[in-house]
Amino acid sequence: MKFKIAYIVLALSLANTSCKDMLETDPTTSVPEEEIYKNTDNVATVINGTWGYLNDTYFTYANPGYTAIMRTSDAMGNDVAVTTKYGYRDAYAFTELTNNRSNRVNSFWIMLYKVIDNANNVITKVDGAAGSDEDKNVLKGRAKVLRAFAYLNLASFYQFSYLKDKNAKVAPIYTEPSTLQTEGKPKATQAEVYELILKDLKDSEVLLVNASRMEKYEINIHVVYGLLARTYLQVGEWRLAAEYAEKAGNEYELMSASDYQNGFNDLGNSEWIWGHKQTNEQNVASYTFHYLDVSSAGSYYYSFMADPYFKNLFDSSDVRYSLFEWDNLPGREGFLRYKKFKFKQNLIGDIVYMRASEMILIEAEGYARAGDREKAITALNKLRTARKAKLFVGADTNKLIDEILIERRKELWGEGFALSDIIRTQGKVARKSFVDDNGKPIQVQITGADGKTKVVDGQGHRVVKFPDGSVFTANSPYYLFSIPYEETVRNPNL
């Protein structure tokens, strides 16, 4: 997919989006708006450019587009032991996302609202473009999905769970194209934001029902079903979450045990529903592999090590268990590698957004919380069978839900769900130092490059409390992303 021309169109379309909630963008050239939205081919380029902007825009090397939000979510969770390397150290320590002047806080806000504004332009103007009604429906449907996706991220990270307080204020809603005269809006409630998300997705369910696609970066009906499943899970519509998850994933085959070892880097993976393709020319998003890939020689930061206790959640027969390995390299000795993500040979990697296994887990959780234990167990055990893990047996529904949530941690590690799941379930971060009862580091055995084994101190979590010294707790403001300081200055209605 070629984004270079699309970026030009995107920049031009953003020239008219200097809303109070965004940094202003001054174009170096000018194309009349009527040309941008003249026909459906041009509008399709805006959609493609918006997708490219979301994924392939560098704010810093540690903020390569949307993947930075996913990495931040995992760094702030339970199971990634971040090293002191550049990138996510401050997010891991809960000192960055609460700082409304930080670069990351600013870049996330700008990115999400620019996607929203571009979607608003398409939704508002595509009906006036030359082209078939079928093409217009697809473009409007995809724009509504992108807008819903951006608002779902705002609802997930900028306020506590909908189920805690649906009337809590989260972020402004904009549904019209922004201009220099657009007045900044006040925060909307979680209920209002989720109402818009669901309306956009339900509209898209109709608009995209027959939409075809050539590649999995394009939004189709299964992506819509998957986002509806995520949204219904957030708002506690358990049975709807399960039913839509089943529809989203039923045409995607779970990967084989051998495929699980291949590095989670290929859009062609049988169970990937949605993702972002990378090429040698356009590969910004795959820079994120430098943090996730802890075993390839070409990886640079290798900062997302696994919590040593995380390994204990897996059965030794589980295909995922074989991905663990104690690091033996100088400066990294004693850290636990989890070799799930690996660069391709050309040091790029496609980005996964949605997989069939996630849908199975939503199906299991939805049915379990709705009281349909048998369907929940069937779904959970379908995934465990594919991973060669022990099957769940039991009559305790609470235990079943706990097992499903643990399975989410095991299966979706490194895919961006850690913090959002903690906020959604009103849970708390759980980390402990890798030390024995006397406070001494637990010893682990490693094999050096010379083939000899030796015993070294095991390395685990470096941050086990909040910055103020308090213990991790549920519904902590440390979990929430801040609105940028500059935004609060520009928009007094916040």
Residue 170: HSE in the Cβ half-sphere, 13 Å Cα cutoff: 24
Residue 237 forms part of a structural domain: yes
Q: Which of 295, 336, 347 is nearest to 314 (CA)?
A: 336
Residue 288 forms part of a structural domain: yes
- For residue 52, the model assigns a pLDDT of 96
pLDDT in tens, 133-185: 999 999 999 999 999 999 999 999 999 999 999 999 999 999 999 998 999 99
Residue type for position 334: G
Q: Indicate the pTM of the whole model.
A: 0.94
Give the whole-angstrom CA distance, residue 370 versus residue 397: 10
Angle, alpha carbons 307-308-309 (nearest 5°): 90
Residue 382 CA, distance from chain mean position: 24
Question: Where residue 356 sits, what CATH number does that domain have?
Answer: 1.25.40.390
275 and 267 Cβ atoms separated by less than 8 Å: yes
Q: What letter does residue 271 receive in the DSSP assignment?
A: T
Residue whose token pair is 């807008």: 147
Tokens of 153: 């991220």
By DSSP bridging, strand 188-189 and strand 169-171 are antiparallel
Residue 448 forms part of a structural domain: no
Helix H or strand E encompassing 276: strand 272-276
Give the whole-angstrom CA distance, residue 149 versus residue 147: 5
pLDDT in tens, 117-139: 999 999 999 999 999 999 999 99
Residue 457, strand partner residues? 443
Q: Which residues of 323-356 are buried (b: 16+ CB within 10 A; e: fewer)?
A: bbbbbbeeebbbbbbbbbbbbbeebbbbbbbbbb
Domain with 338, as residue range(s), is 4-434+461-490
Structural domain total, the chain: 1
Residue 363 forms part of a structural domain: yes
Residue 446 forms part of a structural domain: no
Residue 449 forms part of a structural domain: no
139 and 122 Cβ atoms separated by less than 8 Å: yes
Residue 344 forms part of a structural domain: yes
Residues belonging to the chain: 494
Angle, alpha carbons 112-30-107 (nearest 5°): 20
DSSP string, 228-270: HHHHHHHHT-HHHHHHHHHHHHTTSPPPPTTGGGS-S--TT-T
Residue 440 forms part of a structural domain: no
pLDDT in tens, 20-57: 333 233 333 446 777 899 999 999 999 999 999 999 99
Q: What is the CA radius of gyration of the chain?
A: 22
**Going residue by residue through the chain (494 aa), what tens digit of pLDDT does each one get?**
233 333 334 443 443 333 333 323 333 344 677 789 999 999 999 999 999 999 999 898 899 999 999 999 999 999 999 997 789 999 999 999 999 999 999 999 999 999 999 999 999 999 999 999 999 999 999 999 999 999 999 999 999 999 999 999 999 999 999 998 999 999 999 999 999 999 999 999 999 999 999 999 999 999 999 999 999 999 999 999 999 999 999 999 999 999 999 999 999 999 999 999 999 999 999 999 999 999 999 999 999 999 999 999 999 999 999 999 999 998 899 999 999 999 999 999 999 999 999 999 999 999 999 999 999 999 999 999 999 999 999 989 999 999 999 999 999 999 999 999 999 999 999 999 999 999 999 999 998 878 899 999 999 999 999 999 999 999 999 999 999 999 999 999 99
357 and 254 Cβ atoms separated by less than 8 Å: yes
Helix H or strand E encompassing 446: strand 443-447
